Structure 1
Amino acid sequence: MDYRMGVISSLDEVGQQAWDQLLAKQEPEREPNPFLSYAFLHALHESGSACADTGWQPQYLVLWRDDKLAAAMPLYVKAHSYGEYVFDWAWADAYHRNGVEYYPKLLSAIPFTPVTGPRLMATDDEARQQLIAFLIEQQQASGMSSTHILFPPEDQVQQLEDAGFLLRSGIQFHWLNQGYQDFDTFLATLEHKKRKNIRAERRKVQEAGVMLRQVRGADATDADWRFFHRCYSNTYAEHRSSPYLNLDFFRRIGAAMPQNILLVIAERNGERIAASLVIHNNHTLYGRYWGAIEHVPCLHFEAAYYQPLEFCIANGIETFEGGAQGEHKMARGFLPVKTHSAHWLAHPAFSDAIERFLQREGGGIDSYMDELNERNPFKT
């Protein structure tokens, strides 16, 4: 079967209808991953948050069959390793110390978003194999140091290993909805100490006179987005770094995908003091961003965890993915989940060295996973 292959720098070259139709075919029985939607990716690019000027040059791979989009892969030429959440700084340093260039590199991921989702998007297995072959052809012809595929789903991991990629594991913390009727029903399943601590944290926020509002994307005003961006930027300022995302990006997703957005806004004495943003579909909620302009003890936990948990329970959402890192989430009912990434390195000696490193690291990840599971926060 004949395929027409191409590399595009803008999703405009595909169009929203074709892109979202392909996305919908990845898990036809479930609502599509919102971070892979045309609306989200296009907002990243058009707002200037993820573009060549910020070190994220789009170079998407696309395959057409009978003039229909049969496969695609989000792919970037990266000039650095910021905003990835699978850390390869040590690899880049080793290259540099040996006089070998590590950047630019190829990266398949959702910018600034450590969320598992299909990277090899295809209508069928044949198209997916053609996409993998095209990727290998591109990475070998590009002269770049490496290709990295971050947070692919379990069913694509073996395909990438078969194609010569080295596999790496990580750990995130996810909350699973066991059909809870309300927040108290969920609390009742936790160990006594964990349950007591959560109630104490929520009480501190209430006693501080803080009220919280859950604002759906369709109801969010421009003032809400401006305030949220102020909070988001303040979080980065407190860590002496610059925010990845600009106000234009948030306005764009607010207009283009309001059905996937929930803002939690905290107020005291009629003044807004903090906000969090989560993204969701009908089966998964993803914790994303938080910020405050005034410190209130435990408000972060209330706005970024407990309010979204209540939203999940009220709306029958199955999973709350808590984002990168955060062992402290276990005390709030989140459990460890293994994540994956795949890596191809052109330099044979470095590839061998990193393969040995990943074998050692993988053993450590497995041991850490066992240790975490022994500290399960739920009643035995």
Structure 2
Amino acid sequence: MTDTQIEISVLATLSDISAQDWDACACPETADGARPFDPFTTHRFLSALEDSRSVGTGTGWQPRHLVVRKGGAVIAVAPMYAKSHSQGEYIFDHNFAHAYERAGGRYYPKLQIAVPFTPVTGRRFLTRPGHEADGMAGLIRGALQVATENRLSSVHATFCTPDEAARGERLGLLRRTSQQYHWENAGYRSFDDFLASLSSRKRKNIRKERATAQDFGGEILRLSGEAIRPEHWDAFWRFYQDTGARKWGTPYLTRAFFDRAHETLQDDMLLILAVRNGRPVAGALNFIGRERLYGRYWGAIEDHACLHFECCYYQAIDHAIAHGLKTVEAGAQGEHKIARGYLPVETHSLHWFADQRFSAAVEDYLRAERAAVGEEIEILTSYGPFRKVMETADGRETD
């Protein structure tokens, strides 16, 4: 796909583009040697998914990555997949699929611009600095052309940034909002400092949960980089399989992904392990960004009260405070996170449907859904655990 200046191509594997060219678009902020804002669109992360066969033939995630070149130089890329189902996306469109097929259409395959199995907000239209407008426009044009030429039902870009959502809407895509739960670091110096910002009842409850969890009979380790050893992945794989079987039927990631991650992503990961009698019994896997910690997977082979809350939420907060991170993203869903300091925030996605009448109907639905999501976030936030300070008659502050 070309014009006088722009050339758009589709790659069946990430190995067809150099890490240097991809990352110059995906994470140009690493040019100073620091961490990427998030590791999920880096060449090393997406390659680990492909090399481990977590995506590809037989998975329902077939790579169809977009590359935009201008004057022969790569100016924009996007991780795109042909999808034969809607699993592993976390922006649920099953109702769209059912309605499309009831109307006589074929919803699958569709195109998905996304990071597989990863409900984390980040840039999806990855452009070199200085090429934001023409790069994103080229990527959208390329995705729609691939869909049109192959008679596909739709194109979706999930967990894009608010800026991308606004720009995509101006370019003719439909904007959708959803919500998930994040913890924000208000300059806390310690976990006790965070607790002091909570109402007395919530503060006592968290202290009780942490004490209960610590009584499981072992120790909790936070491991990153070279401190993570191959045997730790053997243990975590058992945890992940158990959780994956219960949540999704089949775990999304293969065992080989964790071996590949050990080779190329060690410094991007924080592994929290609960160890009892020298044996890991539970664990949570997080990924580390420049300003954020991303909670991704949890599992256990023993049941201990409150250990899930400790490993997934409180240890993540501890790490964020200790390392000056601004936010902990605790993944999709789960209103139980509110009482533990994780409040609802908006997430964004973009959508295009080949059938214009269907698109108009979806647009009406999304307009009403956005209003409902906004109201839900406002209501849920009001139930947050933070102190609502009032002043007594004698001028003292009280919860």
Q: Is the 8 A contact 2:37 2:291 kept in 1?
A: no
Task: State the partner residue of 1:31.
Answer: 36
TM-score, scaled to structure 2: 0.91
Q: Is the 8 A contact 2:38 2:290 kept in 1?
A: no
Matched, 1:304 2:312: yes
Deviations 1:142-171 (A, max 9, x none): 210001110110111122112211111001
Secondary structure, aligned partner of 1:265: strand
Question: Match for 1:156: what amino acid?
Answer: E
Matched, 1:346 2:354: yes
Task: State the partner residue of 1:42.
Answer: 47
Q: Is the 8 A contact 1:80 1:104 kept in 2?
A: yes
Aligned-partner Cα distance in 1 for 2:306–2:297: 16
Q: CA deviation at 1:186?
A: 0.8
- Which of residues 64, 77, 85 is equivalent to 2:82? 77
Task: State the partner residue of 2:393.
Answer: none
Aligned-partner Cα distance in 2 for 1:149–1:26: 22
Secondary structure, aligned partner of 2:24: helix
Task: State the partner residue of 1:8.
Answer: 11
**Higher deviation after alignment, 165-174 or 360-369:** 360-369
Gaps of 5+ in 2: 389-399
Percent identity between matched residues is 41
Q: Is the 8 A contact 1:71 1:121 kept in 2?
A: yes
Q: Is the 8 A contact 2:144 2:155 kept in 1?
A: no
TM-score, scaled to structure 1: 0.96
Q: Is the 8 A contact 2:26 2:77 kept in 1?
A: no
Matched, 1:173 2:181: yes
- Which of residues 41, 65, 69 is equivalent to 2:70? 65
Aligned-partner Cα distance in 2 for 1:40–1:149: 18
Task: State the partner residue of 2:394.
Answer: none
Matched, 1:18 2:26: no
Deviations 1:116-165 (A, max 9, x none): 11111112123332333323322322210001110110111122112211
Q: CA deviation at 1:12?
A: 1.2
Task: State the partner residue of 1:92.
Answer: 97
Q: Is the 8 A contact 1:26 1:121 kept in 2?
A: no
Q: Is the 8 A contact 2:143 2:155 kept in 1?
A: no
Aligned-partner Cα distance in 1 for 2:355–2:248: 35
Aligned-partner Cα distance in 2 for 1:118–1:90: 26
Secondary structure, aligned partner of 2:92: coil
Task: State the partner residue of 2:392.
Answer: none
Secondary structure, aligned partner of 2:379: helix
Q: Is the 8 A contact 1:57 1:77 kept in 2?
A: yes
Q: Is the 8 A contact 2:8 2:138 kept in 1?
A: no
Task: State the partner residue of 2:193.
Answer: 185
Secondary structure, aligned partner of 2:331: strand
Aligned-partner Cα distance in 2 for 1:82–1:50: 12
Q: How does 1:126-141 map to 2 (within 5 A)?
A: 126-141=134-149
Aligned residues: 380
Deviations 1:267-290 (A, max 9, x none): 123322111100012311000000
Q: CA deviation at 1:222?
A: 0.9
Gaps of 5+ in 1: none
Q: CA deviation at 1:16?
A: 1.0
Aligned-partner Cα distance in 2 for 1:160–1:63: 17
RMSD, aligned α-carbons: 1.7
Question: Match for 1:270: what amino acid?
Answer: G
Question: Match for 2:79: what amino acid?
Answer: P
